[in-house]
Amino acid sequence: MKFLVDADLPKSLAVFLQNLGHQVSDVRETLRPDSSDKEIFNFAKEQNRIIITRNLDFANILLYPPEKNFAIIVFRTHLLPYAEMFQLLKNFLGKTPETEILGSLIIIQKDRFRIRKPK
């Protein structure tokens, strides 16, 4: 899968995902440092990338509706060490088919994940 790691997550997440065999871009290396959420969203949509972020603004599907060729993953894992966050993501990706991910807003929490597909 193709991912875009937002600036509110560590760069090591990109390396982690690359080691799992995914194509990964990091906002800090791909876009301007002052890029708006809308610019990040549009870039991900144009590139068919899945945004991974902790920015709750991206959880608003009225402002940022995921579409069939990309998705948004929002971490709601406050105070978890990065290693645990990465493992949650790995577990989610291992259990969930790409067809279920694309076109969805995914919220990942410590004990569960939620998938929301806009109507």
**Nearest partner of 4 among 84, 85, 82, 72, judged by Cα:** 72
**61-107 pLDDT per residue, tens:** 999 999 888 999 999 988 889 999 999 999 999 999 999 999 999 99
**Nearest partner of 28 among 17, 47, 18, 43, judged by Cα:** 43
pLDDT at position 78, please? 80
With a CB cutoff of 8 Å and minimum separation 6, the contacts of 13 are 5, 52, 82, 85, 86, 89
The domain ranges of the chain are: 2-116
- C-alpha to C-alpha distance for 35 and 96, rounded to whole angstroms: 30
- C-alpha to C-alpha distance for 10 and 98, rounded to whole angstroms: 24
**42-56 pLDDT per residue, tens:** 999 999 999 999 999
- C-alpha to C-alpha distance for 59 and 55, rounded to whole angstroms: 8
Mean local confidence (pLDDT), 3-15: 95
DSSP 115: E
pLDDT at position 41, please? 96
pLDDT at position 25, please? 96
pLDDT at position 70, please? 92
pLDDT at 119 exceeding the cut of 80:
no
pLDDT at position 96, please? 95
